[in-house]
């Protein structure tokens, strides 16, 4: 098993993010169990932590919509251990202007700060990875690979830029009276960078396919679950040439539609149950099992490629799982690191939903975006100290 440094979030400061007006929190090295009714800020807290890794919302929300109502900007800052960068700060204005600092120094490029605080979030919303559109699964692949491969990140940025310009050229060519088009000019860049995306995606899926099946089996799925990279180019030896030819062949069709149809932005990660599409035949519990296995693969990618055991963000993670499957997921989380569970931020609606494995965590509560510490808990889940506010408006 690969040894990995244990990333711990030592403290976090949040200003005007979602419904959190002001919070300055010291995080125990083991993590916390955060309890609160839905809508009071549990997931917002996890989203703030994840923002320091992704530099965007893990829920796909626009930056300006993350700013608390009535505020001009939000700011998140953290101190961590086990990471190359120990202090990360992000400030985002409602206008969209974004400022990022690493160890107190401004960084002009967002890509330099991506992944500065490694974390993986497990949430009931992850069912969209299975039941949702292909774009959900492409986003999953892009995040897992961009945060663990500089080559992939660079190719993704350049591919998206070339794709936007080719699509703009296609729309321009479709205008009445248009005499010329620069559509073809962007195809070499699309072929070059798109080939990197296809090659890295299919290699990652090939490397992780057996482990995905094993994880699903360990969680309790009796019928084999499998993943496969779904692309017209998946078996093409020379992906760059194959993509270049596909773009050329489809140029006329693309011009009529005003959009590029060939390329990795149209591919998918197929997830099957007994060789049938899991989206169509799987129960909610089976789809949750597959989604959890994908998150476990994501965490394993960060450990093996980045040498870091990421912070685990668990947002009511065992919803729609029976007790046996939930206990097996916990066992897999512990198995995933030779040093045991990484730092864990667990969010649940009620105290009786905290699994026994997490009763060691310091108990916190949240209401209307304000956090209150209840101290450490004993094995029975009884608070060992009276409530004490750790954040105030």
DSSP string of 65-114, one letter each residue? GGBPTT-SEEEEEEEEESSS--EEEEEEETTS-EEEEETTEE-S-GGGTT
Which tens digit of pLDDT belongs to each residue from 264-273?
999 999 999 9
Question: Which of 209, 84, 196, 195 is closest to 149 using CA atoms?
Answer: 196
The CATH architecture of the domain made up of 131-307 is Up-down Bundle (1.20)
Which tens digit of pLDDT belongs to each residue from 278-307?
999 999 889 999 999 999 999 999 999 988
Note whether 370 and 389 are within 8 A (CB).
yes
Which tens digit of pLDDT belongs to each residue from 197-237?
999 999 999 999 999 999 999 999 999 999 999 999 999 99
pTM of the model: 0.91
CATH superfamily of 1-118+310-393: P-loop containing nucleotide triphosphate hydrolases (3.40.50.300)
Is a pLDDT exceeding 70 seen at residue 340? no
Give residue 388's pLDDT: 41
What strands, in cross-sheet order, belong to the sheet with 20-26?
20-26, 8-17, 73-81, 87-93, 98-102, 105-106
Domain borders along the chain are: 1-118+310-393, 131-307
- Percentage of the chain exceeding pLDDT 70: 92
Q: Flag the least confident range among 208-217, 366-375, 381-390.
A: 381-390
Is a pLDDT exceeding 80 seen at residue 343? yes
Which tens digit of pLDDT belongs to each residue from 177-186?
665 578 999 9
Q: Quick one: average pLDDT of 42-57?
A: 96
Give residue 22's pLDDT: 97
């Amino acid at each position: 098993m690969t040894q990995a440094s244990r990333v711990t979030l030592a403290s976090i400061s949040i200003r005007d993010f979602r419904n959190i007006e002001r919070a300055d929190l010291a995080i125990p090295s083991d993590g916390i169990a955060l309890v609160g009714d839905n809508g009071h800020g549990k997931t917002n807290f996890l989203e703030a932590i994840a923002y320091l890794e992704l530099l965007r919302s893990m829920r796909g929300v626009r930056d300006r919509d993350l700013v608390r109502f009535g505020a001009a900007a939000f700011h998140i800052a953290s101190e961590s251990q086990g990471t190359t960068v120990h202090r990360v700060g992000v400030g985002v204005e409602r206008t969209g202007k974004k400022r990022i600092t690493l160890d107190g120094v401004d960084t002009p490029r967002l890509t330099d700060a991506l992944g500065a605080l490694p974390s993986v979030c497990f949430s009931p919303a992850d069912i969209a990875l299975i039941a949702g559109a292909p774009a959900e699964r492409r986003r999953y692949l892009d995040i897992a690979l961009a945060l663990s491969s500089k080559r992939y990140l660079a190719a993704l940025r350049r591919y998206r830029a070339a794709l936007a310009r080719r699509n703009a050229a296609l729309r321009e060519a479709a205008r009445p009276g248009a005499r010329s088009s620069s559509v073809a000019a962007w195809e070499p860049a699309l072929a070059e960078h798109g080939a990197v995306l296809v090659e890295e995606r299919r290699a990652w899926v090939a490397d992780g396919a057996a482990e995905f099946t094993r994880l699903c089996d360990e969680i309790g799925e009796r019928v084999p679950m499998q993943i496969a990279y779904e692309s017209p180019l998946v078996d093409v030896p020379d992906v760059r040439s194959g993509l270049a030819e596909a773009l050329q062949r489809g140029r006329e069709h693309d011009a009529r539609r005003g959009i590029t149809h060939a390329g990795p932005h149209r591919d998918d990660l197929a997830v099957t149950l007994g060789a049938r599409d899991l989206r169509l035949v799987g129960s909610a519990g089976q789809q949750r099992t597959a989604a959890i296995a994908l998150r476990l693969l994501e965490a394993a990618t960060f450990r093996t490629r980045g040498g870091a055991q990421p912070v685990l963000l668990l947002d009511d993670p065992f919803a729609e799982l029976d007790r046996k499957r939930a206990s097996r997921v916990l066992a897999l989380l512990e198995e995933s690191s030779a040093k045991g569970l990484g730092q864990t931020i667990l969010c649940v609606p009620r105290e009786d939903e905290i699994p026994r494995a997490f009763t060691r965590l310091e108990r916190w509560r949240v209401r209307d975006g304000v956090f209150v510490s209840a101290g450490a808990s004993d094995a029975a889940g009884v608070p060992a100290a009276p409530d004490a506010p750790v954040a105030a408006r």
